[in-house]
Structure 1
Amino acid sequence: MTGAVLGISAFYHDSAAAVVSEDGILAAAQEERFSRRRHDSGFPAEAVRYCLGEGGLKLGDLDSVAYYEQPARKFRRVLWTYAATAPRGWSSYQQVLPQWLGWKARTVATVRHRLSALDLGPVPGIRCFQHHESHAGSAFLPSPYESAAVLCVDGVGEWATTTIWRGAGARVEPLAELRFPHSLGLLYSAFTYFCGFKVDSGEYKVMGLAPYGRPVYAPMIRERLVDIRPDGSFRLDLRYFEFLYGQVMTGRRFEELFGGPRRMPEAELTEREFDLAASVQQVTEEIMLNLARAARARTGEARLCLAGGVALNCVANGRIVEEGLFDEVWVQPAAGDAGGALGAAMLAVPGGGRAHLGERPHRGRRRDGMRGARLGPSVDNDRVQAYLDAHALPYTRLEPAQLSRRVARDLADGKVVGWFQGRMEFGPRALGARSILGDARDPGMQSTMNLKIKFRESFRPFAPVVLAEDAAEYFQLRQPSPYMLIVAPVAGRQRLADRAAEDARGIALLRVHRSSIPAVTHVDFSARVQTVDSDADPSLYRLLRDFKDHTGCPVLVNTSFNVRGEPIVATPADAYRCFMRTGIDELVMNDFLLEKDTQPEFTEQGDWRDEIPLD
């Protein structure tokens, strides 16, 4: 035995694997990066292979395998739901029940069988943790705090939808719980569905759409849909929702309340969708603030850790930080279900119940334990060069300092750069390992990236990456934000006095030039900030320093290295393919620089965009 544990999340959304030992996190990755199927929910076979290989382990070397939820408890909730809604949900019941009576009822056996099929040695014992327990573990145990309040908010696990915990030492203690069907995540998903976006992946679009509208429906949401209580709890009026009965989120009552049928996917956005997004976002922030206050009161702690899918709502996170309810807030960068694999593994590490520093060695370095979320595979220079040479692709190899100065100049000249460096990020955000970078000062950069590179809706905002020491000059940020999970206002000194914004509405707001860094300033003068210091990411830090030296500005656009509907790139082949399919001007992979206009003609059979599902 090595003291190592393999954590697994699988079969529902964003399957992932993680390996953790007594010395900390060794590796973590989502299966989608290997399978190239976005939000892959299958068994994470390739992620498991990678994580074990990164740690130099076989299955027989592990102390245990940790699964991120308890299937039997989830099955009881499914049965209760259908019993409580019969006979209305019968058609959905007929579709789902065979799976639950079959392999889903034997999830642990299925996990064991799939692990055995990897031929990596004997499978150790499998432990199952509750879904929210795994979230709480992922939130607190890698955090930099000795003790903290822990708040987990999502759609639903087994029964829990919202939980408050106290973390201390190497333990998490449950204190309060809200149960299905009363769920903030499902409330937000209902509006995601009604606005024409895909549930479980389109919620961030609603968040990005919100500043284009006015919260005119917020009073109606509070009056009709959700009872928000002073103690932080809330209850949904289930008459307006359909998720209990079948495969859709909303129905006739919801349509009557909000003036007609839901927007169909890909249809033109109207003022109603802008205002619905603004309204549900405002209510979500109110509920999250109430929950944060309740967590502070219940625990007495001055620090807060967040996880669960709703913790990816970085606007709500920013409100919690801005309100000053806690001295510090730390958000798990893989806050959704993928992070459950990591949380379960950390909970299962031998001796994890002992509350002393040795169980959380990162605290001795006064940092969190996520290694900047760089927990995925890396590709060394030899492998990059082998790929380029094998395909006869022209490139220039430069020393890191020389490469950084060259790229900084090219970014200042308006070029868009694919940036592939070091270990791949774990979680939904690209943080400088698998990123697309651009000049934040360029007013046309947002439209260029959305329409010619990402092939996505023009309203979608982009995030700034900024030198940590210069963040206060550009953003009203109360604390560091290394994982791009806190929204903050752009500093007043960077804003421009353009009164055109007073008359603009909806998408017309995109044409308003509102700050010195317009490509990353959303229409409400906010930004989803990533701060970078020299320890966390030396190569990205160097590039920002060189860009600042060349332009006077320490801010770049940072977006994920992918196109709409596709997972973030994982390999040199993925990166080159995305580079050639899009309007990216240069590709940097480790020490290698490729320029678009020197590449050979790139052809594929058919239109690749037809093969990628929209999300």
Structure 2
Amino acid sequence: MKILGLSAFYHDSAAALLVDDRIVAAAQEERFTRKKHDSAFPTHSINYCLEEAGLTIDDIDHVAFYDKPFLKFERLLETYVAFAPRGFRSFRMAIPVWLREKLFQKDLLGTELKEMANNGFDPAEQLLFSEHHLSHAASAFYPSPFEEAIVLTMDGVGEWATTSVAHGKGNKLEVLREIHFPHSIGLLYSAATYYTGFKVNSGEYKVMGLAPYGEPRFKDLMMEHLIDVKEDGSFRLDQSYFDYCTGLTMTNDKFAKLFGEPVRDADEPLTQFHMDIAASVQAVTEEIVLRLARSLRKEFGIPNLCLAGGVALNCVANGKVVLADIFDRVWIQPAAGDAGGAVGAALATRYLNFGKERTVPNGLDAMAGSYLGPEYSQEEIEKQLTEAGGVFTTLSDDDLYDQTAKALADEKAIGWMQGRMEFGPRALGNRSIIGDPRSPAMQKTLNLRVKYRESFRPFAPSVLREDVGDWFELDDDSPYMLLVAGVKESRRKAMTAEEENLFGIEKLNVPRSDLPAITHVDYSARIQTVHKESNPRYHALISEFKKQTGCPVVVNTSFNVRGEPIVNTPHDAFRCFMGSDIEVLVIGNAFLRKEDQDPALALDYKNAFELD
């Protein structure tokens, strides 16, 4: 059975192809169109998935969409009726878009798919719709290494649900309970994102990165006024502080009065106040997630937990759950946001609509390391680089690892593009910019000169799985960079009293461990464990770096600049290389040094993309 899963029309459109019980391919539309969070019908992603499997749309048995547009429209109407007459301006702006585009998505999807088919595509028979949170839950449970698990999904909002609990066993998956809009932990976090001056639906991870610079001094205030959290983790938001139901913003004047400052403009400097707001909403989120996890383990007694939904990308909260030992094992869908809904819709169709038997994956899981996107042959790499005017040397594998490890040890920023592109928001060693974590200057260099982004943003370590316990307070698998844990005590450097008193971001310049480039101000790190089985080339490179330096860790950040989607093609990689201060580019076995390139090919990438 061949099932194509789709997510589209809101943000992060994507396609995923399931052939029998194997996820053959998955990709986000933004990687092809180069438009961040592209929400358009995922034509390029569909074409890639089909091409990867050697299929056409005529070979597909069913297409599964990740949510139900009519239920979303029902929520929109009921919300406006409930809050009437407030919100008429927002209603007046939203309804024409829904009537013109979103309400008739079934027709739109059918039309687009029929145009791609040669022998006819019958939407009435072949097009199916899953519910939003069921798609998330399916994306988390079915690829997981568990025969049975509790599945917790948390995001902004799907159709109605914002938080849901499901029970998965074998090929069965049942949603047991839900918290409904407008009560949403994801929307609370987005409200804080908006209030601190970042862009909603893309800036939430900045708030998470900013939180360690602050103190959670507003946590009690938030839990007293904004959100009522019960002992079991269920919650309700006081809507008098928010504007997302009826207005055009996330928060209102009452929200600003509660905290004593107006909404920050994006170009205003960050102050300790904003850092404390970030720390506080992060602390509230962690409290809710921990209470939910504890109550679910106590109620069901099931030892395994799966997580999905946008809130599951909050790797700090995930790390707290793992380190609390509430569940024996935790597995998180690497594409936890809406893009992953495409995978979930396809899996839900196979197992729930058609009752196919499920085989629990061997090894890590069934996501293939999340390396599900396009890859390029050495011949195609060299062709694209030559067309772009790149000057390169083709090296053997051994020479490639040796030369790249030496460049890392020389504190050079390296663009590293290998194999299949990652599916989901994290670069996991196939579309990465890498550096030496021992360098005190690397964090600032990568932020300001390579990524062109805010200086406070932390970087993640990629560490050999066999060495993770020697360097971090974690001795578990974290292949998808979705867990935060502390740097091991023996690797830390104590800060002086004078250094402790520095203003938030100034602390970043103080080396806090043997790995200053990846150690956040609270001695934490967002860890990716690198496994020989799922990424042999990345594992080999880090092993060579360890051989040369004694360090089994590299800095890993996504191969892009601020506001740009992660690179897909060799041509994308070369453009980013020539538009930033990346000093070495490695694509397949092609090795490029910046000083060897034609200076006329340099690009001004600093302002090429909109702020994210």
TM-score (norm 2): 0.97
Contact conserved, 2:388 with 2:571, CA < 8 A, in 1?
A: no
Contact conserved, 1:304 with 1:326, CA < 8 A, in 2?
A: yes
Match of 2:189 in 1: 188
> Distance in 1 between the 2:396 and 2:574 partners?
21
| CA displacement at 1:603 relative to structure 2 | 4.3
Residue number among 3, 23, 27 corresponding to 1:25 in the alignment: 23
Q: 1:240 to 1:320 in 2, by over 3 A?
A: same
**Structure 2 SS opposite 1:457:** coil
| CA displacement at 1:64 relative to structure 2 | 0.5
Paired letter, 2:316 = V
Match of 1:613 in 2: 610
Residue number among 38, 41, 47 corresponding to 2:39 in the alignment: 41
**Structure 2 SS opposite 1:519:** coil
Paired letter, 1:265 = A
**Structure 2 SS opposite 1:415:** coil
Q: Deviations over 1:392-441 (max 9, x none)?
A: 42111111121001100110011111000000000000000100000000
Match of 2:405 in 1: 408
**Structure 2 SS opposite 1:406:** helix
Match of 2:364 in 1: 367
Q: How many residues align?
A: 608
Match of 1:475 in 2: 472
- Which stretch shifts more, 204-213 or 385-394? 385-394
Aligned-residue Cα RMSD (Å) equals 1.4
**Structure 1 SS opposite 2:166:** strand
Matches within 5 A, 1:170-181: 170-181=171-182
| CA displacement at 1:60 relative to structure 2 | 1.6
Q: 1:352 to 1:533 in 2, by over 3 A?
A: farther
Contact conserved, 2:580 with 2:606, CA < 8 A, in 1?
A: no
**Structure 1 SS opposite 2:116:** coil
| CA displacement at 1:349 relative to structure 2 | 2.0
Contact conserved, 2:219 with 2:281, CA < 8 A, in 1?
A: yes
**Structure 1 SS opposite 2:545:** helix
> Distance in 1 between the 2:155 and 2:117 partners?
35
Match of 2:326 in 1: 325
Matches within 5 A, 1:294-305: 294-305=295-306
**Structure 2 SS opposite 1:388:** helix
Residue number among 112, 115, 127 corresponding to 2:113 in the alignment: 115
Contact conserved, 1:169 with 1:354, CA < 8 A, in 2?
A: no
| CA displacement at 1:62 relative to structure 2 | 1.2
> Distance in 2 between the 1:103 and 1:223 partners?
40
Contact conserved, 1:207 with 1:277, CA < 8 A, in 2?
A: yes
Paired letter, 2:563 = G
Q: 1:539 to 1:520 in 2, by over 3 A?
A: same
> Distance in 1 between the 2:281 and 2:104 partners?
38
| CA displacement at 1:119 relative to structure 2 | 4.4
**Structure 2 SS opposite 1:569:** coil
Contact conserved, 1:241 with 1:251, CA < 8 A, in 2?
A: yes
- Which stretch shifts more, 277-286 or 98-107? 98-107
> Distance in 2 between the 1:415 and 1:249 partners?
41
Question: Could you list the runs of 5+ residues in structure 2 that have no partner in the other structure?
Answer: none
Match of 1:131 in 2: 132
Q: 1:427 to 1:126 in 2, by over 3 A?
A: same
Contact conserved, 1:519 with 1:557, CA < 8 A, in 2?
A: yes
Residue number among 491, 494, 497 corresponding to 2:491 in the alignment: 494
| CA displacement at 1:293 relative to structure 2 | 1.6
> Distance in 1 between the 2:279 and 2:76 partners?
32
Contact conserved, 1:443 with 1:518, CA < 8 A, in 2?
A: yes
Residue number among 57, 69, 72 corresponding to 2:70 in the alignment: 72
Contact conserved, 1:151 with 1:295, CA < 8 A, in 2?
A: no
Paired letter, 1:295 = L
Match of 2:149 in 1: 148
| CA displacement at 1:215 relative to structure 2 | 0.5
Paired letter, 1:561 = F
Match of 2:220 in 1: 219
Q: 1:116 to 1:608 in 2, by over 3 A?
A: farther
| CA displacement at 1:297 relative to structure 2 | 2.9
Match of 1:599 in 2: 597
TM-score (norm 1): 0.97
- Which stretch shifts more, 168-177 or 307-316? 168-177
- Which ranges of 4 or more aligned residues in structure 1 deviate by more than 4 Å? 350-356
- Which stretch shifts more, 448-457 or 49-58? 49-58
> Distance in 2 between the 1:292 and 1:602 partners?
56
Q: 1:245 to 1:350 in 2, by over 3 A?
A: closer
Match of 1:423 in 2: 420
Q: 1:172 to 1:391 in 2, by over 3 A?
A: same
Contact conserved, 2:452 with 2:561, CA < 8 A, in 1?
A: yes
| CA displacement at 1:104 relative to structure 2 | 1.3
> Distance in 1 between the 2:253 and 2:388 partners?
56
| CA displacement at 1:350 relative to structure 2 | 6.4
| CA displacement at 1:498 relative to structure 2 | 2.7
Q: Deviations over 1:164-211 (max 9, x none)?
A: 111111221111110000000000000000000000000000000000
Q: Deviations over 1:40-87 (max 9, x none)?
A: 011111001101111111112111000000111111000001111111
Match of 1:96 in 2: 94
Contact conserved, 1:465 with 1:558, CA < 8 A, in 2?
A: yes
Match of 2:435 in 1: 438
Contact conserved, 2:334 with 2:480, CA < 8 A, in 1?
A: yes
Residue number among 565, 570, 574 corresponding to 2:563 in the alignment: 565
| CA displacement at 1:351 relative to structure 2 | 7.4
2:278 aligned with 1:277? yes
Contact conserved, 1:89 with 1:245, CA < 8 A, in 2?
A: yes
Matches within 5 A, 1:195-214: 195-214=196-215
| CA displacement at 1:355 relative to structure 2 | 7.2
2:374 aligned with 1:377? yes
Q: 1:410 to 1:506 in 2, by over 3 A?
A: same
Contact conserved, 1:166 with 1:299, CA < 8 A, in 2?
A: no
- Which stretch shifts more, 442-451 or 57-66? 57-66
Match of 1:449 in 2: 446
- Report % sequence identity: 52
**Structure 2 SS opposite 1:343:** helix
Match of 1:397 in 2: 394
Q: 1:391 to 1:183 in 2, by over 3 A?
A: closer
Match of 1:291 in 2: 292
Paired letter, 2:65 = Y
| CA displacement at 1:505 relative to structure 2 | 2.6
- Which stretch shifts more, 531-540 or 493-502? 493-502
> Distance in 2 between the 1:113 and 1:458 partners?
46
Paired letter, 1:597 = E
Paired letter, 1:315 = V
> Distance in 2 between the 1:392 and 1:431 partners?
28
**Structure 1 SS opposite 2:517:** helix
Matches within 5 A, 1:5-16: 5-16=3-14
Contact conserved, 2:578 with 2:602, CA < 8 A, in 1?
A: no
| CA displacement at 1:601 relative to structure 2 | 1.9
> Distance in 2 between the 1:270 and 1:409 partners?
39
> Distance in 2 between the 1:251 and 1:235 partners?
18
Contact conserved, 1:22 with 1:350, CA < 8 A, in 2?
A: no
Paired letter, 1:330 = W
